[in-house]
Amino acid sequence: MLKSGDKAIDFELVNTDLKMVKLSDFSGKNVVLAFYPGAFTSVCEKELCTFRDSLSKFNRLNAVVLGISVDSPFANKAFAEKNHITFDLLSDFGGRVASQYGGVHENFLNIPGYTAAKRAVYVVDGGGTIVYSWVSEDPGKEPPYEEIEEALERLSK
């Protein structure tokens, strides 16, 4: 599991427009990586809508948000459209990237073979270093939004 002070691992995942997106595409910008267990679940919807509603503040802090789940790009696209989410939602099939960062839930919701990303948030600075990390074993727990904003504000000073 990665933590504050670690170098972020670059990755390339497909977005809802079936285009490949790399973390390194955002070099020089602060990035909020929001790993979420699944589209169309109540806590994930609340979390990603909270990030959506914070985008103007994040933009002022030179930050972008990337949502990452094991969902297909088609499910993520429907989820983004339903909730008017304008930042990239990326599909991490099999949870490879989630495993490198915060981890995964195996047999999620007692469904054999179903893997889901643990709810986790990382703030990566423009140089690619993780400056904030939060991982929850409880998929029903939302991240501490104030801490994420504080981490971004520290980077803007």
Catalytic residue selected from 8, 31, 44, 63: 44
Is position 62 within any domain?
yes
- Report the pLDDT value the prediction gives residue 149, as an integer from 0 to 100: 95
Is position 107 within any domain?
yes
44 given a catalytic annotation: yes
Cβ proximity of 118 and 112 under 8 Å: no
Q: The domain spanning residue 130 has which CATH number? A: 3.40.30.10
Is position 105 within any domain?
yes
Global pTM reads 0.94
Is position 151 within any domain?
no
- Report the pLDDT value the prediction gives residue 109, as an integer from 0 to 100: 85
- Report the pLDDT value the prediction gives residue 94, as an integer from 0 to 100: 86
Total tally of structural domains belonging to the chain = 1
Is position 150 within any domain?
no
75 has pLDDT over 90: yes
What is the average pLDDT across 73-94? 96
Is position 155 within any domain?
no
Is position 74 within any domain?
yes
30 has pLDDT over 80: yes
